[in-house]
Amino acid sequence: MTMHLELLKIDSLHKTFKKHKVTAVDNASFSIFKGEVLGLVGESGCGKSTLAKLILRLIDADKGSIFYKNKDLLKISNGDMRKARKDLQIIFQDPYASLDPSMRIGEVIEEVYSIHKNVSWHERKNKTIELLETVGLGESYLNRLPSELSGGERQRAGIARTLATDPEFIICDEPVSSLDISIQAQILNLLIELQKRKNLTYLFISHDLGIIASVCDRVIVMRSGKFVEEGQCEAIFINPKHDYTKELLTSSIGFLDKKPK
Amino acid sequence: MLLQIKNLKVDYGNIEVVRGVDLYINKGECVGIIGESGCGKTTVGLSITKLIPERKGNISSGEILLEDRDILKLDPEELRKIRGKKISYVFQEPFSSLNPVFTIYEQIKEVLEDKKDTNSQIVELFKSVGLEKIIGKKNIYPHELSGGMQQRAMIAMAIASNPSLVVLDEPTTALDVTIQHQILDLIAELKNRMNLSILFISHDLRIVFSIADKIGIMYAGKIVEYGPKEKISSNPAHPYTIGLIDSIPSFEHRKKLFNAIGGRAPLFSDLPKGCKFYPRCRFRIDKCLEKEPELELVSDNHVSRCIRIAYIVSV
Amino acid sequence: MNKLTVFGLCIVGFFMVIAIFAPIIAPYNPGQIDIKNILTAPSYSHIFGTDSLGRDLFSRMVYGTRISLMVGFIAVGIASLIGIALGAMAGYYGKWVDVIIMRFIDIMLCFPTFFLILAVIALLEPSIINIMIIIGATSWMGMARLMRAEILSLKERDFIYAERAIGASDLRIIARHLIPNAMAPVLVSVTLGIAGAILVESSLSFLGIGVQPPTPSWGNILSEGKAVMGAGWWMMVFPGLAIFITVLGYNLLGEGIREKLLKS
């Protein structure tokens, strides 16, 4: 795989929540290359979701810079940022919370087209159906409400919305952790397939090392706002350097062959 | 035999969600139930001491024998003596299971059988569940503890009365992996030391396989495969079990697609004909539609609810 | 739905029908003076009797329903527009926008509303339109607070982050996603608000500074009745009952909706 094009470069990004006096992200610096899947693993409250929201400017960073194709996202106007969002997308953890409960699935996707005007008006419906089929749903889902869908179907709808802007980079923020294991495997398959087919770049956030191992090229281990280790998946999983990484590994690689003590 | 559940059926407002479950737990044994959300696994756990909210659910048939006494036939007073004493529970959310207005000490004291010398008993309990830190700190409230510590306190309460059976329902699901690991180690250690009998309910195969001796896989309100852990992990004999095992993400998997189970679990209000797993099954044949299969013997102590066992085991 | 809510809904519906079909239902022209039949008691030809100018009270009541409901609806409509817009802005933008709007609400709440209305009417002309505007402009604060609270909890939900992530503008997020999802509790407030506005209108008209005669409204009929209380009891009983029953209807309906929302 060729991965020399630096798509996103994050430089000493910092965020402290004043109300709780918590440093959620402490001087994070890293790069993501075109076409790679970068894993971000850590336990709850380590700041990984905050980092995701910071990168997309869904919350404001205290300082630092986010270069997307050599443009600092933190320095551009709100209007330009709205346009840039076309290329930078996010899939949320809880597919139920991430869909407007009052909107039908078709409307959710068509709304993206009406915001970005990237699809002409009379093509919108066909495009929407096409997209729903891409994620394994179909035309019959157009007029359904999120509450009428199962967890897996909702996450598929969420992924369809994400794809509607035809993004280059997607942050997957725990995209399967609220799903049952059989559905989880389906969604992971869908994400892996999409990534390969469209040469997408993912920042894949998860607390589950098994999931990180099965989808990522590179991984960053995060703890209390700080990066403790970063490297190729193989290196980290086979030869972890940091104690915390070791602890995570011994805690989570039980899988099938583990004997009870 | 410590506990025998025979042909348990539970319905919620005319919709049957536990459709005939048999389960046996021996003294000192940990039996795991694996199933996805809404398969009825939690209901089985709650049914054991009739904890299902009366207005909503109803145990329509079956027997639950605790040391040969049918729990379902007991009057409320006798039932109360069993709950929390002979059979205790640990649930997923430790914080919502603990009463926020009482201290941990008070709550544990409440469940102790022997009211003499409660202090030394509590110290012993705290030592055994790894809560040495709060020994002697009598005015600690639940919210002052971390999630892992709260779950340790819950486990202390569960074992305080020397129960015959502990039902653990997703006890580690709300916890971080490192804490999860510690709690599982604690449970395994207590089980060996106190010869505890455990019913361990979880959706996570990895966890159940790491702790249980015997495993039942539940699907659509019935056990579809049951047997010793080793047999199920090395030689799964039901297509659902195989699909679940194939769905476990792991390092060996590296960027390959999962051999995932297609479709979604059926709704109880709209169960398919014949084998309930038929629509999602990769081994299905037309004969599967004829009737719902019975549990059939795969090998000693290992049963599967599938008519194609011979074929499945051979591939 | 419980029986009381259905009852409330029936009352509300009943008066709506009367208001809409007033010209068909009213047997006489409400302004038609008949000096031969002044203050006649209820009878076959005038089922609610006549007033001190010989006008048919039933017809005036029917047309008064129109006025009273219209004032109620439009005043609450104005209040909702102000309340929802300001509440949504305060909740969504937070920071100084929130501070300014919330302090403004506090100030508005400091005034005894009814006397504020009296003062403003004294300056302006008491016309139906002015009455509606003034009632609306002084009763939006509760709705704004309600809206703000709803928006505060909604805006942290993932689907709002998702909307922002796909590049939706603030206006679109507020108008298409936040407000529709926050409407349910506001609806209760609107229903109860209509009852309140009808009461205020009646009070103003009763005091003679509301809807001006000869246009009939429940309040000014009541006011005219006050002058002839001894001679024409029907002049006070019927409009009084109408106000009472309507307000009861809207309150029952509002409570019913609230209960339903709490359950879901």
**In this structure, what is the dihedral angle of CA atoms B165, B222, B15, A153, given to the nearest 10 degrees?**
110
Structure confidence at residue C206 (pLDDT): 86
CATH topology assigned to domain A6-87+168-252: Rossmann fold (3.40.50)
ipTM (interface pTM): 0.86
Distance from CA of B149 to the nearest CA of A (A): 16
pLDDT per residue as tens digits for the range B53-89 = 777 888 888 889 988 888 888 888 888 888 878 888 8
Cβ–Cβ gap B178/A186 under 8 Å: no
Residue A98 has its nearest CB partner, among C158, C167, C169, at C158
User: How does pLDDT run across B211-220, given as a tens digit for each residue?
Assistant: 999 999 999 9
A181 vs B35: CA distance, rounded Å: 9
Two structure tokens written together for B165: 């059976």
Architecture of domain B3-101+163-178+191-314: 3-Layer(aba) Sandwich (3.40)
Pairing of strands B15-25, A63-68: unpaired
Compute the half-sphere exposure of residue A177: CA atoms within 13 Å on the CB side of its CA: 24
Distances (CA, A) of B17 to B6, B49, B216, B224, C154: 16, 17, 16, 14, 34
Residue A115 has pLDDT above 90, yes or no: no
Q: Which residue of C has its CA nearest to A167?
A: C166
User: A110 to chain C: nearest residue by CA?
Assistant: C166
Touching C (3+ Cβ pairs <8 A), the chains are: A
pLDDT at site A255: 47
Instruction: Give whole-number Cα distances, A233 to A213, A214, B178, in Å.
Output: 7, 9, 20
A261 touches B at CB < 8 Å? yes
| Residue (of C180, C186, C189, C121) closest to C147 by Cα position | C186
Q: Which of B251, B267, B270 to mutate to test binding with chain A, by most A CBs within 10 Å of its CB? A: B251
Residue-averaged pLDDT of chain B:
88
Which residues have C-beta within 8 Å of that of residue C135, sequence separation ≥ 6? C71, C75, C78, C79, C117, C197, C200, C201
- At B284-299, the pLDDT tens digits run 999 999 889 999 888 8
pLDDT tens-digit map of B109-164: 888 877 778 888 888 888 888 888 888 788 888 888 888 888 888 888 888 888 88
Interface touch C158/A93, C-beta < 8 Å: yes
Residue found by looking up tokens 């089922």 in the block: C47
pLDDT for the residue numbered A98: 87
Chains in contact with B, where contact requires at least 3 CB pairs less than 8 Å apart: A
Enumerate the residues of chain A whose CB falls inside 8 A of the CB of residue B210: 254, 258, 260
β-bridge partners, B41:
none
Sheet holding B3-12, edge to edge: B15-25, B3-12, B57-66, B69-70
Nearest-neighbour CA in chain C from A78: distance (Å): 9
pLDDT tens digits, B194-213: 889 999 999 988 889 989 99
Check whether the bond before A167 is cis (ω within 30° of 0).
Answer: no
**Residue A32 near residue A90, CB atoms below 8 Å:** no
> pLDDT in tens for each of the 264 residues of chain C?
788 889 999 999 999 999 899 888 888 888 888 778 777 778 888 888 888 788 888 889 999 898 889 999 999 999 999 999 999 999 999 889 999 999 999 999 888 888 888 888 888 887 888 888 988 998 899 999 999 999 998 888 888 888 888 888 888 899 888 988 888 888 888 998 998 898 888 888 888 888 888 888 888 888 888 878 777 788 888 888 999 999 999 999 988 888 887 766
Q: What is the pLDDT of residue B305?
A: 93
Residue A244 has pLDDT above 80, yes or no: yes
Size of interface A-B (CB pairs under 8 A): 116
A189 in B contact zone (CB under 8 Å):
yes
Q: What residue spans in chain A does CATH classification 3.40.50.300 cover?
A: 6-87+168-252
B124's tokens: 């012993």
Strand partners, A17: A22
Contact between chains at B257 and A193 (C-beta distance less than 8 A): yes
Residue B170 and residue A242 in contact, taking contact as beta carbons nearer than 8 Å: no
Mutate to test the interface with A, among B230, B250, B259 (most CBs of A within 10 A): B250
Helix (H) or strand (E) holding A144, with range, is none
The SS3 assignment for B215 reads strand
Q: Amino acid letter at B77?
A: E
Banded model confidence at residue A260, pLDDT cuts 50, 70, 90: very low
Give the pLDDT score at A173: 92
Can you tell me the distance from the alpha carbon of C27 to that of C30, in angstroms, rounded to the nearest whole number? 9
Interchain proximity A261–B185, CB inside 8 Å: yes
Separation of first and last alpha carbons in chain A: 42
Burial of A243 (0-12, 13-18, 19+ CB in 10 A): exposed
Q: How close A200 comes to chain B (CA, Å)?
A: 14
Amino acid in the structure at residue B261: I
Collect all residues of chain C within an 8 Å Cβ-Cβ radius of residue A98.
158-159, 161-162
CB contact under 8 A, A100 and C165: no
pLDDT of residue A208: 87
Determine the distance in angstroms separating the CA of A25 from the nearest CA of chain C, rounded to an integer: 19
Beta strands B197-202 and A226-232 are unpaired
**Banded model confidence at residue A259, pLDDT cuts 50, 70, 90:** very low
Looking at domain C3-18+53-263, what is its CATH homologous superfamily?
A: MetI-like (1.10.3720.10)
Q: Write the CATH number of the domain with boundaries A101-166.
A: 1.20.1580.10
In which band, very low, low, confident or very high, does the pLDDT at A254 lie, cut at 50, 70 and 90? low
pTM of full prediction above 0.95: no
Mutate one of B146, B177, B255 to test the A interface: name it (highest A CB count within 10 A).
Answer: B177
**CB-based contact B210 A258, cutoff 8 Å:** yes
Residue extents of the structural domains in chain B: 3-101+163-178+191-314
Touch of B by A (3+ CB pairs closer than 8 Å): yes
Q: Which residues of A touch B258 (CB under 8 A)?
A: 185-186, 188-189, 214
The shortest CB-CB distance from B176 to any of A43, A181, A254 is to A43
Q: B225 and B216 in contact (C-beta within 8 Å)?
A: yes
Q: Strands (DSSP E) along chain B, which ranges?
A: 3-12, 15-25, 30-34, 57-66, 69-70, 87-90, 165-169, 197-202, 214-219, 222-228, 296-299, 302-304
SS3 of C157-182: CHHHHHHHHCCCCHHHHHHHHHHHHH
